[in-house]
């Protein structure tokens, strides 16, 4: 059985976050959605739980990271092509996200990034299925 991944992220405005990620093509599991949280489906084994900040704090005694001045993590997901990387970032910026880093092109791998409306960092990547060239340094 494959292990499943559930990433929990605090959000200020759940409806705004759902609208933002819907614009990027993600869908949500209604069985795990209520006024405090929703389950964003990445794939069959990976999910992002978007939790209103007040609800999020019931799961930890640590303060929520201030994304305006610090980074708690960088979430990354893959897409099917270089063009899809750029298109996903364009959609993110149009839907209310902000730029993060410039695109990086490694030949066999290409990535670009954005910040969601809550300041969480997201990286969109494409990698050649053949992998890095045989002569690439580790």
Identify whether the C-beta of residue 50 lies closer than 8 Å to the C-beta of residue 17: yes
The pLDDT tens digits for 37-50 are 999 999 999 999 99
pTM of the model: 0.87
Query: Taking Cα atoms as reference points, which of 7, 23, 6 lies closest to residue 97?
Result: 23
Q: What is the model's pLDDT at position 99?
A: 96
Work out the number of other CB atoms within 10 angstroms of the CB of residue 124.
24
Segments of the chain scoring below 50 in pLDDT: none
Helix pair 82-94, 14-23: axis angle to 10 deg: 150
Query: Taking Cα atoms as reference points, which of 113, 126, 52 lies closest to residue 82?
Result: 126
Q: What is the model's pLDDT at position 138?
A: 54
Which bin fits 114, alpha (ψ -120 to 50), beta or left (φ > 0)? beta
């Amino acid at each position: 059985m494959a292990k499943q991944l559930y990433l929990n992220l605090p959000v200020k405005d759940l409806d705004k976050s759902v609208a933002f990620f819907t614009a990027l093509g993600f869908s949500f599991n209604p069985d795990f959605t209520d006024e405090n949280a929703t389950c964003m489906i990445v794939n069959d084994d990976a999910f992002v739980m978007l939790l209103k900040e007040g609800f999020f704090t019931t799961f930890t005694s640590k303060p929520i990271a201030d994304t305006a001045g610090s980074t708690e993590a960088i979430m990354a997901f893959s897409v099917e092509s270089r063009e899809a990387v750029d298109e996903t970032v364009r959609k993110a910026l149009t839907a209310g996200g902000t730029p993060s880093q410039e695109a990086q092109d490694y030949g066999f791998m290409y990535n670009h990034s954005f910040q969601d409306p809550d300041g969480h960092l997201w990286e969109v990547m494409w990698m050649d299925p053949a992998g890095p060239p045989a002569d690439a340094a580790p």
